[in-house]
Structure 1
Amino acid sequence: DPSFPKAKMAVTVLRLAAGAVRCGARRRLSTLPPHSLLPMPALSPTMTQGNLASWKKKEGDEIGAGDVIAEVETDKATVDFEATDDGVLAKILVAEGATDVPVGTPVAVIVDDAAHISAFSSFVVPTTPTTPVAAPAPTTPTTPA
């Protein structure tokens, strides 16, 4: 089947792109236990967003590297989203059926120890506040009188 190499390449790209991002929780200042934010993967070099078609794991489930945790839908196909590391799915951040999720957006929280799940019950991804930039005051040309 000529499409097999493309499908295999897509899965490889997915595995590389889907690596959990260790977040600032590992810093000593955080009050949360060590965790990783799992980002929406880029399944192709041009993919900028995708749909979270379905979750195959639920909060509290143990996951292992290679386990299918969700299905991501692109404009071309629905692809299995595989875990790249072992851990426990502590919190789903993006609901099943969500559409147009930007690549890199955290979709789940993974922890190493199931005892840490409760710490993420009300977790939301912190956002960086944006301060509006004031427009420069209009200048009025002065003409000598």
Structure 2
Amino acid sequence: MDRTAIRSLSQLLRRASDDRELYLKAASMVSEPGLRAVFTEMAATLAVTVGELRREVEARGGSITTQASLAGRQRALMAAWRMRLAGNPDNAGIALLERAENRLLRHFEAIAKNDPALAALACRLLPRLRAVHLDMSTLVHGLRG
């Protein structure tokens, strides 16, 4: 059992799971039905990633927590408040999720580059995460344009 790899996988798993919950929360708060559908679809994409990470942790002999992290719960609460207080909750949700997605993507890219034990897994999951990030970046650019 490689404890370092399991710890890294658990961090990725927690972050992806927290972000999935963040997408679901934002989807429940936006008014635009199309945006709600996009956020729900992105949450489903992250659910697949979470499932793959769980299987990898289990395959390596690690245990899985089913609770959201404290930081994830705090991010979700702050995001909900920001969206409620924003002049346009839809735009606020897009901006918040794009930043969360950017952090998750950077985390996966760092693992792919710096952790030989997990590089193959990270590289396999990165295309899906990059596609979600591209979608979010496109939405953010639409706000500015």
- Settle same-fold status: TM greater than 0.5: no
TM-score w.r.t. length of structure 2:
0.33
TM-score w.r.t. length of structure 1:
0.33
Relative contact order (alpha carbons < 8 A, sep ≥ 6): 1 or 2 greater? 2
Instruction: Give the helix-richer structure, 1 or 2.
Output: 2
Instruction: Give the strand-richer structure, 1 or 2.
Output: 1
- Structure with higher Rg: it is 1
